[in-house]
Amino acid sequence: MQQIIEERYPPGEWNLYCAQASDGDNWNDDSPICRDLLVRQIMPAMQYYCYVEITPREHQTLWHEYEAVAEHFADSFAQQQIVDAGDIYPVFRKLFQKRMAT
Protein backbone atom coordinates (compact mmCIF):
# COMPACT_ATOMS: atom_id res chain seq x y z
CA MET A 1 0.00 0.00 0.00
CA GLN A 2 2.79 2.42 0.89
CA GLN A 3 4.43 1.83 -2.49
CA ILE A 4 1.18 2.53 -4.33
CA ILE A 5 0.68 5.73 -2.35
CA GLU A 6 4.21 6.89 -3.10
CA GLU A 7 4.07 6.03 -6.80
CA ARG A 8 0.53 7.03 -7.74
CA TYR A 9 -1.25 9.01 -5.02
CA PRO A 10 0.97 11.61 -3.33
CA PRO A 11 -0.88 12.80 -0.22
CA GLY A 12 -0.25 16.43 -1.16
CA GLU A 13 -2.32 15.89 -4.31
CA TRP A 14 -4.90 13.33 -3.15
CA ASN A 15 -7.28 12.78 -0.24
CA LEU A 16 -6.66 9.16 0.70
CA TYR A 17 -9.22 6.85 2.29
CA CYS A 18 -8.84 3.17 3.09
CA ALA A 19 -11.19 0.40 4.13
CA GLN A 20 -9.94 -2.97 5.38
CA ALA A 21 -12.10 -5.98 6.17
CA SER A 22 -10.68 -9.14 7.66
CA ASP A 23 -11.49 -12.08 9.88
CA GLY A 24 -8.62 -10.72 11.98
CA ASP A 25 -6.81 -14.04 11.92
CA ASN A 26 -3.16 -13.16 11.68
CA TRP A 27 0.11 -14.59 12.92
CA ASN A 28 0.66 -13.06 16.33
CA ASP A 29 4.09 -11.78 15.31
CA ASP A 30 2.62 -10.03 12.25
CA SER A 31 0.01 -7.97 14.09
CA PRO A 32 2.48 -5.59 15.81
CA ILE A 33 4.19 -5.10 12.44
CA CYS A 34 0.84 -4.17 10.90
CA ARG A 35 0.22 -1.69 13.70
CA ASP A 36 3.65 -0.10 13.30
CA LEU A 37 3.26 0.20 9.52
CA LEU A 38 -0.08 1.91 9.98
CA VAL A 39 1.13 4.31 12.66
CA ARG A 40 4.43 5.26 11.02
CA GLN A 41 3.76 5.08 7.28
CA ILE A 42 0.12 4.71 6.28
CA MET A 43 -1.93 6.79 8.70
CA PRO A 44 0.03 10.04 8.30
CA ALA A 45 -1.03 10.01 4.64
CA MET A 46 -4.69 9.05 5.24
CA GLN A 47 -7.73 11.26 5.57
CA TYR A 48 -9.56 8.29 7.04
CA TYR A 49 -9.02 4.56 7.58
CA CYS A 50 -11.53 2.02 8.78
CA TYR A 51 -11.09 -1.57 9.78
CA VAL A 52 -13.94 -4.07 10.00
CA GLU A 53 -13.36 -7.40 11.69
CA ILE A 54 -15.73 -10.16 10.59
CA THR A 55 -15.95 -12.78 13.32
CA PRO A 56 -18.52 -14.09 15.78
CA ARG A 57 -15.68 -14.91 18.18
CA GLU A 58 -13.62 -12.79 20.50
CA HIS A 59 -11.48 -10.14 18.87
CA GLN A 60 -8.31 -11.38 17.24
CA THR A 61 -4.79 -10.07 17.85
CA LEU A 62 -4.99 -7.66 14.92
CA TRP A 63 -7.99 -5.93 16.50
CA HIS A 64 -6.08 -5.31 19.71
CA GLU A 65 -3.09 -3.91 17.84
CA TYR A 66 -5.39 -1.65 15.84
CA GLU A 67 -6.81 -0.28 19.07
CA ALA A 68 -3.38 1.31 19.56
CA VAL A 69 -3.67 2.86 16.08
CA ALA A 70 -7.05 4.29 17.06
CA GLU A 71 -5.46 5.91 20.12
CA HIS A 72 -2.91 7.71 17.94
CA PHE A 73 -5.38 8.69 15.21
CA ALA A 74 -8.70 9.12 17.00
CA ASP A 75 -10.15 11.46 14.35
CA SER A 76 -9.11 9.47 11.30
CA PHE A 77 -9.23 5.78 12.31
CA ALA A 78 -12.29 3.69 13.09
CA GLN A 79 -12.89 0.02 13.68
CA GLN A 80 -15.96 -2.13 14.05
CA GLN A 81 -16.76 -5.80 14.47
CA ILE A 82 -19.47 -7.61 12.54
CA VAL A 83 -20.56 -11.23 12.70
CA ASP A 84 -21.63 -11.87 9.12
CA ALA A 85 -19.92 -10.84 5.88
CA GLY A 86 -23.33 -9.74 4.58
CA ASP A 87 -23.22 -6.86 7.07
CA ILE A 88 -20.08 -5.39 5.58
CA TYR A 89 -21.64 -2.87 3.20
CA PRO A 90 -24.02 -1.32 5.74
CA VAL A 91 -21.19 -0.99 8.24
CA PHE A 92 -18.87 0.62 5.66
CA ARG A 93 -21.66 3.05 4.71
CA LYS A 94 -22.04 3.94 8.37
CA LEU A 95 -18.30 4.35 8.93
CA PHE A 96 -17.89 6.47 5.82
CA GLN A 97 -21.01 8.61 6.19
CA LYS A 98 -20.40 12.32 6.08
CA ARG A 99 -19.57 13.69 9.48
CA MET A 100 -21.58 16.70 10.51
CA ALA A 101 -19.86 19.58 12.25
CA THR A 102 -20.94 19.92 15.88
Which tens digits make up the pLDDT trace of 3-54?
A: 999 999 999 999 999 999 998 888 778 999 999 999 999 999 999 999 999 9
pLDDT at position 75? 93
Give a yes or no: residue 101 inside a domain.
no
Ramachandran angles phi, psi of 18, nearest 5°: -140, 145
Q: Identify the pLDDT of residue 19.
A: 93
| DSSP secondary structure of 44-83 | GGEEEEEEEEE-SSSPPHHHHHHHHHHHHTTTTEEEEEES
pLDDT digits (tens, 9 = 90+) for 84-102: 988 888 888 888 886 655 4
Question: What is the reported pTM?
Answer: 0.85
Q: Would 102 be classed as within a structural domain?
A: no
Number of domains in the chain: 1
**Whole domain around residue 21: which residue ranges?**
2-95
100 located within any domain? no
Contact 76, 38 (CB under 8 A): no
The yes-or-no verdict on residue 63 having pLDDT over 70 is yes
